[in-house]
């Protein structure tokens, strides 16, 4: 199956996806619900590096609203 998209659509989609990927990769704010440790991580599903708990709240920084 070959789906033809215009070059503009493809590059726009690619740009949008790569922005999300970069934001996700570098800016995941993590907060350990067990010990309160806070850090900025690079992937979802990471355990707390302080106490090893997996009860971690994870928020992508790009989801924070701008002032």
The only residue of 20, 22, 51, 61 in contact with Zn ion, by rule CB under 5 A: 51
Return the closest-CA partner of residue 19 out of 64, 62, 58.
Answer: 62
- Name the residue nearer to Zn ion (CB basis): 10 or 34: 34
- Least gap, CB of 53 to Zn ion (angstroms): 5
Q: Does 30 bind Zn ion (CB under 5 A)?
A: no
The residue (of 34 and 63) whose beta carbon lies closer to Zn ion is 34
Which of 32, 62, 66, 33 has the alpha carbon at shortest distance from 49?
A: 32
């Amino acid at each position: 199956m070959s789906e033809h998209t215009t070059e503009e659509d493809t590059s726009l989609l690619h740009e949008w996806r790569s922005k999300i990927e970069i934001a996700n990769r570098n800016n995941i704010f993590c907060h350990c619900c067990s010990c309160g440790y806070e850090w900025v991580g690079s992937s979802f599903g990471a355990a707390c590096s302080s106490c090893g708990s997996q009860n971690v709240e994870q928020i992508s920084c790009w989801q924070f609203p701008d002032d």
